[in-house]
Amino acid sequence: MAKKTLEDCPPETLADQVVVVRVDYNLPLNRDGEVVDDTRLVRTLPTIQYLVEAGAKAVLLSHLGRPGGRPDPALSLRPVAGKLEEFLGYPVGFCPMTTGPQAQEAVQRMKSGEVLLLENTRFCPEDARNDAEWAEEISFGTKLFVNDAFGTAHRAHASTQGVAHAVRRGGGGAVAGFLLERELRFLSDAMADPEHPFVTIIGGAKISNKIDVIEALLPAVDRLLIGGAMANTFFKAHGWAVGDSLVEEDRIDTARRLMDLAGDKLLLPVDVLTAPSITSDVSTCVSACDEVGEAQHIGDIGPRTAELFIDVVGGARTVIWSGPMGVFELAPFRSGTFEVARAAASTADRGATVIVGGGDSAAAAVAAGVVDRITHVSTGGSASLEFLSGNEMPGVAALSDR
């Protein structure tokens, strides 16, 4: 990698040092505010353990949710400190302030080998504003900043980019943690020199979220499979009725342009699963894509499409998958996504590189029970799409060069 990583920092240089680490503990919460998936936290453990074993004082910064620059008790990181403590097996300090005298004191009181999590950086408006003075404050005079927050690396915020600049201005270094390094390695290897056939599966709710990544991947891929609600807009572009399904009327031209651009590479669904409503207790019907009835909702790809997609994925040597094939959260509409997930896992079992990017696709891989067989499940939702689209990530660009 062109950027320095934690591997460039031998343990003996870290003993007794304050090291500031940006992690991404923006964990998905349910309606009761409970953490539903702790993958992002678990993946940071190697970085934290490395620092603890080296005898450093690890000060962790993260955001959680979108509190909009104001404290919001529902988005406090305090429960996350408890979770981290369970995984590490030793105490993790928590400071209810992110900056100011209380935070400074908490950092000053730390002993060698201790871990301290500060309160949600986005309780402070300065974070998203990338305020340089505030970035200086959250650097706590450290000589080493570690960015291990891939999911936030596409944001130029004070706790991602600003703090790296502040530490480097002060003569220190800014490096990638083990999680960030792994993400960049897998995603850039897949992009730089993919083994063919190279297949991309794009699904999910909206074309608008994924145009950039489709356009960036198109020249390199052999097949582009499209499912999910996104396919509906392509059906519309063909002039087919989609009933009451989710459609982006203002993206029909985009769909048309992508169809021209992709030519034979593009594989759209040939059949879909429809129902009178997208709810958990409806009975579904299979329709050809050009025969969707009035007042019907498309909720998943159909069985013939699943077979087609499974076949293409089965022959691939590189697969990038972003976006579910249907409303997999609801039992009647989960089978298309699960079948594609299982096909991707089988392909990975045979030695292909399979990368899953996107928060909901990662959740679908977990729900389908195949997550452990996938080569790399990215922890960055939109961050992985930004990276795959070829956009610069300010949080990475700000790190020290090798």
Nearest to 120 by CA among 161, 182, 171, 69: 69
Closer of 159 and 335 to ligand ADP (Cβ): 335
386 binds Mg ion (CB under 5 A): no
Closer of 246 and 282 to ligand ADP (Cβ): 246
3-state secondary structure of 231: helix
Q: Which does 394 bind (CB under 5 to 8 A by kind): ligand ADP, Mg ion, none?
A: none
Q: Which does 299 bind (CB under 5 to 8 A by kind): ligand ADP, Mg ion, none?
A: ligand ADP
* Six-digit token string for 338: 């699960």
Report the nearest approach of Mg ion to the CB of residue 361 (Å): 8
Selected from 359, 380, 394, 395, the binder of Mg ion by CB under 5 A is 359
**Biggest alpha carbon–alpha carbon distance for the chain:** 69
First to last CA, the chain: 8
361 binds ligand ADP (CB under 6 A): yes
Report the nearest approach of Mg ion to the CB of residue 381 (Å): 6
Burial class (CB in 10 A: 0-12, 13-18, 19+), 276: middle
Closer of 299 and 359 to Mg ion (Cβ): 359
Choose the binding region for ligand ADP from 56-64, 100-108, 181-189, 354-362 (rule: CB under 6 A): 354-362
CA distance 254 to 37: 34
CA distance 373 to 53: 30
**Interface with ligand ADP in residues 243-302 (CB under 6 A):** 246, 298-299
3-state secondary structure of 158: helix
CA distance 206 to 203: 8
Closer of 95 and 365 to ligand ADP (Cβ): 365
Closer of 126 and 360 to ligand ADP (Cβ): 360
Residue number of the CB closest to Mg ion reads 360
Closer of 243 and 314 to ligand ADP (Cβ): 243
357 binds Mg ion (CB under 5 A): no
Written as one letter, the residue type at 400 is: S
CA distance 125 to 219: 40
Choose the binding region for ligand ADP from 124-132, 204-212, 214-222, 251-259 (rule: CB under 6 A): 204-212
Mark residues 320-349: x for contact with ligand ADP by CB under 6 A, - for none. Answer: --xxx-xx-x--------------------
C-beta neighbour count of 221 within 10 angstroms = 22
Report the nearest approach of Mg ion to the CB of residue 234 (Å): 19
Q: Residue 22 belongs to what H/E stretch? A: strand 18-22
Closer of 151 and 172 to Mg ion (Cβ): 151
Q: What are phi and psi of 267, to 5 degrees?
A: -125, 110
Closer of 358 and 395 to ligand ADP (Cβ): 358
Report the nearest approach of Mg ion to the CB of residue 363 (Å): 9
* Six-digit token string for 204: 């999910």
Written as one letter, the residue type at 249 is: E
Closer of 6 and 211 to ligand ADP (Cβ): 211
Choose the binding region for Mg ion from 103-111, 185-193, 353-361, 372-380 (rule: CB under 5 A): 353-361
Q: What are phi and psi of 4, to 5 degrees?
A: -70, 150
24 binds ligand ADP (CB under 6 A): no
Nearest to 373 by CA among 328, 311, 321, 309: 321
Nearest to 210 by CA among 391, 390, 393, 385: 385
Nearest to 25 by CA among 78, 103, 91: 78
358 binds ligand ADP (CB under 6 A): yes
Chain residues binding Mg ion by CB under 5 A are 359-360
Chain residues binding ligand ADP by CB under 6 A are 204-205, 209, 228-229, 246, 298-299, 322-324, 326-327, 329, 358-361, 381
